[in-house]
Amino acid sequence: SGQLGNNIGVVVVSGGQPRRGRRRTGSHRHDHGNAVDFHLTRDGRRVTPEQDPQLYERKIELSAQDHAGIGHYGWGLHVGGGNPAFWGPDKSSKSADPKFAAAYQRGRSSQ
């Protein structure tokens, strides 16, 4: 997250966990590093997309350069591979914030 500023951090909520066992969080889509759920922090404090939409717009744009599937939620982002897709909180493109969707498109076009 250095491109976002030295005081911005990433907290992984689910990603790269074992396929089975007690230490899992999230779905199997996150296994083997193929996808991750995370939220951003500023100076160690959690920041949600609603609290700082411009920060999340920039993160979405940067992430879309390398990852095809991105979804935004009230708590943070899902970023992964697969077919190009962008979605909002109800897991459909219809609920995607237009500014976040535009950031995704900018990132995908700058590949």
Note the pTM of the prediction, 2 decimals: 0.84
- Rounded to whole angstroms, how far apart are CA atoms 89 and 63? 18
Residue 52: CB atoms within 10 Å:
15
Strands 69-72, 35-42: pairing is unpaired
CA nearest 82: which of 61, 101, 98, 66?
A: 66
Assigned token pair, 73: 């939620």
pLDDT: which is higher, 23 or 49? 49
What confidence category does residue 77 fall into, taking pLDDT thresholds of 50, 70 and 90? very high
Q: Residue 3's pLDDT is what?
A: 85
Per DSSP, the three-state class of 5 is coil
